[in-house]
Copies of this chain bind each other. A is one copy, B any other.
Amino acid sequence: MGSTAQFVILGMLSKEPMTGYDIRKRVKTRMGSFWDINYGQIYPTLRTLEKKGEVTKKVEIMENRPNRKVYSITNKGLNELKKWLLKPAEPESAKIETLLKVAFGEHLSKDEIIKHINEFKARNISRLEDASNIEKEMKAQLKKNEKYFFPLLTFSLGKSLHKAGIEWADTAIELIEKHKNFTKLYENGKNKISKIN
């Protein structure tokens, strides 16, 4: 029913046959910070999809280590994927804990808030670098293989969002640093126990 995980798995398998482990890795690199799927969803879902005949399993016998279970999408699975792809997308959602901590910033000192924002900035820089590196590789191969057209589109949004995050961090720190009444604000926060808004 309403489990997006199954369609992420079908979508990944529509590109090439993979193990559950591969699916996780691929979602991490291809979707960056804009989607995630973990083993707790992948392995049970693969079993459900197999029962429904939407994927097939080929076991590669391994010596002295877990057998590789390589899954492929079936025609039935591809049809289900396409049906889902035609439906309108769910609204975007995000979890930015840094914004939560900034929003409750009256309980923190200037330095503590700036520390949070700098860590936020560092994560955005690191993710921007990751996205740029993969984008570079894909762009080089785009001339030979058209299949990178769509993944590249998603990377361009990722890059823009991370850049926006980095720029915001810089201006936010500036604003906090030159804020004259900050200490007063902080003292108010410290002593306030559920007063009026």
Residues of A bordering B, CB below 8 Å: 4, 7-8, 11, 13-17, 30-31, 33-36, 72-75, 78, 81-82, 85-86, 88-108, 112, 116, 119-120, 123-124, 146-147, 149-151, 153-154, 156-157, 160-161, 163-165, 167-168, 171-172, 175-176, 179, 181, 184-185, 188, 192-197
Set of chain B residues within 8 Å of A179, measured between Cβ atoms: 149
User: Copy number in this complex?
Assistant: 2
Cα A8 to Cα B119 in complex, Å, equals: 20
Contact between chains at B184 and A99 (CB < 8 Å):
no
| Main secondary structure on A side of the interface with B | helix
Contact between chains at A123 and B15 (CB < 8 Å):
no
Set of chain B residues within 8 Å of A91, measured between Cβ atoms: 33, 123
Contact between chains at B99 and A194 (CB < 8 Å):
no
**7 examples of A-B residue contacts, CB within 8 angstroms:** A35-B94, A85-B107, A88-B116, A89-B97, A94-B94, A146-B188, A164-B164
- The distance from the CB of A6 to the nearest CB of chain B, in whole angstroms, is 12
| Partner among B101, B119, B154 whose Cβ is within 8 Å of the Cβ of A103 | B154
- The distance from the CB of A26 to the nearest CB of chain B, in whole angstroms, is 10
Contact between chains at A146 and B85 (CB < 8 Å):
no
Cα A81 to Cα B161 in complex, Å, equals: 29
Set of chain B residues within 8 Å of A123, measured between Cβ atoms: 91-92
